[in-house]
Amino acid sequence: MAMTQTRPDTAPTGNPPPPERRTTSRHSVDDTALVILVKVASRIAGRIVDLSLGGCRIRCDERFPVGIYTRVETEFRIEGLSFRLGGVIQAIHDRHTIGIRFLDVSPRKREQLEQLIEEINEAHAQKAAAENAAAIPPSDLSGL
C-alpha cells in the first residue's frame, strides 16, 4: 500500500488546530495553477500547494480579490496530467492562499484525480525511501 503524506493545518498563535472536517486526505504538491473567477472571467496565477479528491489549496501570486463561496475554475498540470475543475472558494487562509472545494466532478475526472493522487503517493514514498537510505551511515550497512 502506498504511503500517504498529508499536510496538517497550522494553528495561529499556539491555539490547537480545529477538528479535521475532510473526508479525503490532502497531498503536498508544487506546480503552477490558474484560478478563474467565473462571473468576471478574470484569471489569477499561482501555485497549487496541496490536492485531495475534494479540493485543493492554491497560493496566488497576487492578493485574492473575492470572498468565500465564489464560483471558480482552477487549471493545473501535475505529473503530465492537465486538469480544469470547477469549484467554490471554501476557505481564505490569508490574502494570497485559498482553499477550493471541487464541485460536480465527473466520474472520469474523479478517476483521473485518483490516479494522480496514487502517483503523488508513490513519488513521496520513493523520495522518503531514498532519503532514509541516504541517512543510513555506511558502517550500519556492513551487517546487511
pLDDT at 71 over 80: yes
**Of the options 3.90.870.30, 2.40.10.220, 3.40.50.2020, 1.10.540.10, the CATH number for the domain spanning 24-127:** 2.40.10.220
Pairing, β 71-78 against β 55-60: unpaired
- pLDDT (tens digit per residue) in 89-111: 999 999 999 999 999 999 999 99
Pairing, β 81-92 against β 27-37: unpaired
End-to-end CA distance of the chain: 25
* Local confidence band at 12 (pLDDT 50, 70, 90 cut-offs): very low
C-alpha cell of residue 63: 492578493
* Local confidence band at 85 (pLDDT 50, 70, 90 cut-offs): very high
* Local confidence band at 18 (pLDDT 50, 70, 90 cut-offs): low
C-alpha cell of residue 45: 496565477
The domain limits of the chain are 24-127
